[in-house]
Structure 1
């Protein structure tokens, strides 16, 4: 029955897109994030629904959609460079078969991020994509939040829609994405046009943000706690009453403490003492190995090059016997451990060139959104037009999403995370849209100045004589 519901919805959207092909782009976003083919049980699992939506999105834009306002930008060029470089390293990978498996989804995520800005030519499309992103992730987050509140959480114990600890369904990845999208969720309470600002929209947004904050607690993902702290600090720049904000956040945190399980405290305590946690100790050892590997292989070893690592490290072990606690050190030998960091993931797989491209892609996005925010918030200029007041807050939300993602990516191998690549596409689309507005405004100003100049010449005495 569940398979039929999914297939009926997908078929309906495919038919709907015949008149409005941009809907197929949103369909692919929905399928790529939620992965209904992994949730179903029978028929949908055997159909290439993701490939169908992928082909419809590209084909619909090429054949049926308008191309007005489409521009190729510098950040899209960086994505093309990263895609080409990943293709080259895959062909020369240390482990060809695992590299080919990862390449199968990475190239789609990168190519879709390159393509996405071409379709974002209006405010309605930009908002539609943002809303689809939020609601698709919300489908997973709401269930996670409810299970957490009802007591079904715990590290590696919280079940999502699928029994697969990969992609966005990996606990730390979901926690990072959920926290990164919270500013965008709040944006819809003030500027949404699909769902107009209303107390029901605000109530849903508040509950959804609460569910997002529950994800790091329910999954006991340490990265999620770090992302919450970083977002809280970043928001200080934009709140008007900073003292009230800090006090309120502190009180909310204190009120939540009694409701947190003991396992959560024990899990979070390893943040301050990483050497005593085997997972954290392994990460440090992998990072050291990756740096040494990059010295010998500066152009990278292709996807999953970490499979060649092997290292030994010393870890303290605390043993308790009655009232006595002893600390001893043991040697741990490990091999084939993942990077657990996007920085070292890019460094090990794509070498220094790939890491440089990735850094440029992320840094330019933050800088670009900062420029848009300053340009369109109205300070130092005329107040923004009511129809343009949404632009600066949208830029802030997308900038915060990038910064939170970057912090979360420091501790996870999510350098090619599809949702965050879509955020990059959304940033590029917003920047292109603003550039068109600026160009149109400059053209009107030039026309106005030329008209005023002609009027002055006609009004001058010499001009009047010449006219007579």
Structure 2
């Protein structure tokens, strides 16, 4: 039944797109996040649904959409430059076969991020794209949250819809994405219009936020805990009663401690023991190797260049004998270890040009969202009350991603690139609206001047 349901949902969206081609864009968002073709075992695998949705989305826009005011923004230009540079570095990749395999999905994620803002020309479309993104991810998050509550969690043990450790289904990636979506969920609970924010929407939103917070516990991903801390700090900016917020957050955290599994608290405690924890020590050695590699190859080594790393280091090991603790050092040899950091992933694979482009892409997005947030601060109502809060939500989501990306190789994560596309779409929408208002105001001023000139030129009826 699950296989049939997934197949019918996908085919249904394809058919609805014949009437409203924009639905094909939403279909691609749904398929790219959930990967129903991997969940199903027969019907869902009959067709290359992801490729079909990708082509339909572009074809529908090219044929049926209006192109009034069509233009690419600076950030779309950065995405395009990054896309071209990734292709160039692929030509001298140290591992061409592995590089080609990664390129096969990276180019689609980058191209769709460039394309997405062109389709999100209204508030309704922006909201619809966000809603599909949140609800599709929610299907995974709710399932994982229920399994966590039922005791089915644990590092590497939380079974999701797809058990291939890729895309959003990788445990640390899911933790980062889940926490990054919380600000957007909060926006829907206050400003959504597709589902008006009544008590049902707020109840579902609160339950979904709780499920999002459970993901780092269920996956025991240390990155998720850091993302929760980052979210908690950022929310201080917008809350009115900050001391009450801090006290409530501390009380909830303390109250939750007895209910956390011991395996979770033990794993989280290793965050402060980087030197004596092999996983963290290996990451630092990989980062050191990457810096040495880029010193020799400043233009990068192409996708999956980490496969060429090899190093030996000494790791301290504590031996407890009664009240005596003795520290010894043992040699650890590693090779072909992943970057475990998007910053070093970009630096190693794309060199300094790629890292600069990727950093500019996200920094300019944060600045852009901050400008919109400040411009619309204090405005209320259906027309002007949603832009500022949405800019803030997308900004928070981006910052949480960057925190998580510091410890994961998710530089090209499709869900995050979708959020980048949403940021670009919001900025373009605001610019178009303000431009229209400026034109209307200019026309009104010209009309008023013409009326004044006409009155001045007319003869005074009181003069014979």
Deviation at 1:68, TM superposition (A): 3.1
Aligned mates of 1:117, 1:154 — CA distance in 2: 38
Say whether the 8 Å CA contact 1:71–1:432 is kept in structure 2.
no
Give the TM-score of the pair, scaled to structure 2.
Answer: 0.97
CA deviation string 1:192-248 (max 9, x = no partner): 111011100000000000000000011111100000001111111111111111111
CA separation of 1:423 and 1:464: change in aligned 2, threshold 3 A: farther
Partner of 2:404: 408
The count of residues paired between Structure 1 and Structure 2 equals 462
Q: What are the equivalent positions in structure 2 for 1:112-131 lying under 5 Å apart?
A: 112-131=112-131
Partner of 2:423: 427
CA deviation string 1:136-173 (max 9, x = no partner): 11010001111111111111111111111121101100
Q: What are the equivalent positions in structure 2 for 1:183-202 lying under 5 Å apart?
A: 183-202=183-202
Aligned mates of 2:64, 2:446 — CA distance in 1: 39
Q: What are the equivalent positions in structure 2 for 1:261-410 lying under 5 Å apart?
A: 261-321=261-321, 324-378=324-378, 383-410=379-406
Q: Which moved more, 1:33-42 or 1:287-296?
A: 33-42
Partner of 1:160: 160
Q: Which moved more, 1:278-287 or 1:310-319?
A: 310-319
Give the TM-score of the pair, scaled to structure 1.
Answer: 0.96
Q: Give the root-mean-square deviation of aligned CA atoms.
A: 1.4
Aligned mates of 2:44, 2:19 — CA distance in 1: 25
Aligned mates of 2:459, 2:38 — CA distance in 1: 78
SS state of the match for residue 330, structure 2?
strand
Aligned mates of 1:224, 1:19 — CA distance in 2: 41
Aligned mates of 1:40, 1:7 — CA distance in 2: 8
Deviation at 1:454, TM superposition (A): 2.2
Partner of 2:232: 232
SS state of the match for residue 208, structure 1?
helix
Partner of 2:451: 455
Aligned mates of 1:265, 1:330 — CA distance in 2: 26
Instruction: In structure 2, list runs of 5 or more residues that go unmatched.
Output: none
Say whether the 8 Å CA contact 1:155–1:221 is kept in structure 2.
yes
Aligned mates of 2:309, 2:459 — CA distance in 1: 86
Aligned mates of 2:83, 2:68 — CA distance in 1: 26
Q: What are the equivalent positions in structure 2 for 1:173-192 lying under 5 Å apart?
A: 173-192=173-192
Aligned mates of 1:366, 1:52 — CA distance in 2: 33
SS state of the match for residue 301, structure 2?
coil
Deviation at 1:70, TM superposition (A): 3.4
